[in-house]
């Protein structure tokens, strides 16, 4: 690199070529390259940005995210490219890093989210628990690819043990978790599919996921992940690792963003690891049900105009529909289905406390555990399933009675546990082929989500019959089946055949 007297453009430039094996103080945490490994979580950064190189004075200067984003922010006033802006600063003898620091102090610290959402990360979280992944995929501004328990078989090595302080509690927890895996294997031997057998698995089951996100995605994790009573230990560990990663990449921006300390300045996302929620206590008062309830439907669509617009199939006009119709539902979900539902991030979701759900299940397990179809149809499987879920709940109860943290004890809860959520579906999720109703009514969708999507469809059409002609499975709207193998659903709406399906697959 060209040797220049000009100071480094960005304090984060050093992060682009980190010194390997830089150890942290805690013995269980260390870094090699940009990979953090700790007792419960492994986090690896694959790429980040934006960053670039700028030619100046016969040399090349690396520009990290702090300077890049700050200069682009200034550029919104001056209308010049990042390269030209940096070059002009250098020609004027100014230090771009000082300019960046000023921008972050004045803009980022005031809460301009367009700056903190411009800093992007592509990272992988390996072998975390399903409890942590349930939180990591909840923020709406991110993209998540997660290892599927519908297809991958679980073994005894797939379990994680929270850091209990007592060997006795570790023993109780691990013995129960291993018995749940044994029961899972027995269900599979009895003919239950992987998709349905996973319902008995505890939240301590390992998973891995790839995440594409911004700094803003996990700011609330950094600021508010103090352990307390309710959060699993992994949340604090992930927050520490993500903070170290982000500060290494863009220290100015991170410092400025964390100066904004009010708890409500970050985007809301559903978090079941919380105290009993008074809103849900009120909503659920006197209720115990197994199907979604339509709480409210707002329909501002004029009948004839609405049908004319959809018939014209002009996207720019149809898109106006999105905010004009909204359905708010109260839904019972297993933790399996809940974990999938929150990944449909265009559906705002609120969830009750998992601890309130567990208390309900301890009092009445048969009403608060959701058995999947492959289990319910066989009395022997149903008996085993109920025994396994009961054992998990009893272990949870013993741990909290012994004074263990709720956030640690929760990892033994079975994924069949029923929780209630409130969800808000807009026009996109009710009417579009890529929205919730259309994609989740597909025969390839997970059975529980599919049943909910059909119930939402039927309840909305009951209240607004004029929507019946445009709501339905995605194949109805697309005119063909996008899956590898088609099913008879499409025949309700279109003439279809193997020949036509193969032709559509090739086109």
Active site residues: 440
Q: What is the DSSP string of 170-238?
A: HHHHHHHHHHHHHHHHHHHHTT--HHHHGGGSBTTBEEEEEEEEEGGGGHHHHHH---TTTS-HHHHHH
Report the distance separating Cα 68 and Cα 80, nearest Å.
13
Strand-strand pairing, 120-129 and 206-214: antiparallel
| Cβ atoms of 28 and 20 closer than 8 Å | no
The first and second tokens of residue 234, run together, are 């992994």
Identify the residue whose tokens are 């956030």.
Answer: 407
Rounded Cα–Cα distance for residues 163 and 96 (Å): 45
Enclosing H/E stretch for 411? none
Nearest CA-CA partner of 252 in 114, 112, 105: 105
d(CA 418, CA 218): 27
Q: In angstroms, rounded to a whole number, what is the distance separating the alpha carbons of residues 166 and 298?
A: 53
Q: Percentages helix, strand, coil for the chain, rounded to the nearest 5? A: 50, 15, 35
Omega of the bond prior to 50 within 30 degrees of 0, cis?
A: yes
Q: How far apart are CA 239 and CA 34, in angstroms?
A: 15
Task: Output the CA torsion 280→284→290→293 (10° steps).
Answer: -80
Name the nearest CA neighbour of 341 among 202, 474, 349, 322: 349
H runs (alpha helix) in 326-412: 335-341, 354-363, 365-368, 373-376, 379-401, 406-409
Contacts of 75 (CB under 8 A, 6+ apart): 81, 82, 85
* H/E run at residue 414: none
Pick the closest to residue 290 from 363, 366, 343, 362 (CA basis): 366
Separation between Cα atoms, residue 116 and residue 377, nearest integer Å? 51
Q: Residues 322, 298: contact at Cβ < 8 Å?
A: no
Rounded to the nearest 10°, the torsion over CA 7, 11, 17, 22 is 130
């Amino acid at each position: 690199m060209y040797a220049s007297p000009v100071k480094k453009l960005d304090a984060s430039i050093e992060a682009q070529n980190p010194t390997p094996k830089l150890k942290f103080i805690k013995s269980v945490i260390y870094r090699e390259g940009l990979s953090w490994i700790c007792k419960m979580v492994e986090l690896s950064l694959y790429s980040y940005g934006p960053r670039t190189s700028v030619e100046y004075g016969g040399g090349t200067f690396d520009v990290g995210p702090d300077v890049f984003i700050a200069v682009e922010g200034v550029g919104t006033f001056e209308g010049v490219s990042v390269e030209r802006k940096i070059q002009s600063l250098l020609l004027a003898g100014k230090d771009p890093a000082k300019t960046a620091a000023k921008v972050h102090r004045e803009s980022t610290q005031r809460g301009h989210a367009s700056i903190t959402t411009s800093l992007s990360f592509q990272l992988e979280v390996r072998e975390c628990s399903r409890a942590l992944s349930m939180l990591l995929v909840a923020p709406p501004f991110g993209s998540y690819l997660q290892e599927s328990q519908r297809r991958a078989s679980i073994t005894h090595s797939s379990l994680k043990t929270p850091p209990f302080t007592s060997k006795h509690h570790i023993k109780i927890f691990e013995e129960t978790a291993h018995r749940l895996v044994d029961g899972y294997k027995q269900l599979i031997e009895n003919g239950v599919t992987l998709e349905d057998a996973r319902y008995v698995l505890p939240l301590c089951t390992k998973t891995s996921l790839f995440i594409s996100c911004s700094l803003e995605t996990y700011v609330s994790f950094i600021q508010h992940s103090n352990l307390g009573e309710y959060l699993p230990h992994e949340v604090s560990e992930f927050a520490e690792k993500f903070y170290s990663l982000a500060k290494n990449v863009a220290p100015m921006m991170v410092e400025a963003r964390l100066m904004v300390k009010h708890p409500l300045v970050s985007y809301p996302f559903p978090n079941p690891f919380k105290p009993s929620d008074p809103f849900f206590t009120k909503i659920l008062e006197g209720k115990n049900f197994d199907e979604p309830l339509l709480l409210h439907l707002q329909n501002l669509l004029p009948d004839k105009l609405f049908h004319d617009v959809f018939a014209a199939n002009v996207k720019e006009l149809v898109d106006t529909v999105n905010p004009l119709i909204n359905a708010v539902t109260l839904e019972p979900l297993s933790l399996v289905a809940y974990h999938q539902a929150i990944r449909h991030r265009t559906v705002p979701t609120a969830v009750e406390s998992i601890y309130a759900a567990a208390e309900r299940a301890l009092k009445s397990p048969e009403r608060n555990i959701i058995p999947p179809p492959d289990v319910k149809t066989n009395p022997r499987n149903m008996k085993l399933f109920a025994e396994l879920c009961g054992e998990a709940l009893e272990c949870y109860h013993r741990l909290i009675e012994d004074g263990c943290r709720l956030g640690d004890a929760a990892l033994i809860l079975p994924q069949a546990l029923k929780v209630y959520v409130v969800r808000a579906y807009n026009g996109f999720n009710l009417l579009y082929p890529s929205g919730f109703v259309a994609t989740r009514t597909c025969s390839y969708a997970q059975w529980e989500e599919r049943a909910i999507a059909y119930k939402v469809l039927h309840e909305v059409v009951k209240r607004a019959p004029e929507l019946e002609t445009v709501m339905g499975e995605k194949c109805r709207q697309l005119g063909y089946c996008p899956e590898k193998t088609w099913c008879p659903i499409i025949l309700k709406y279109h003439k279809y055949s193997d020949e036509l399906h193969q032709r559509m697959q090739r086109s």
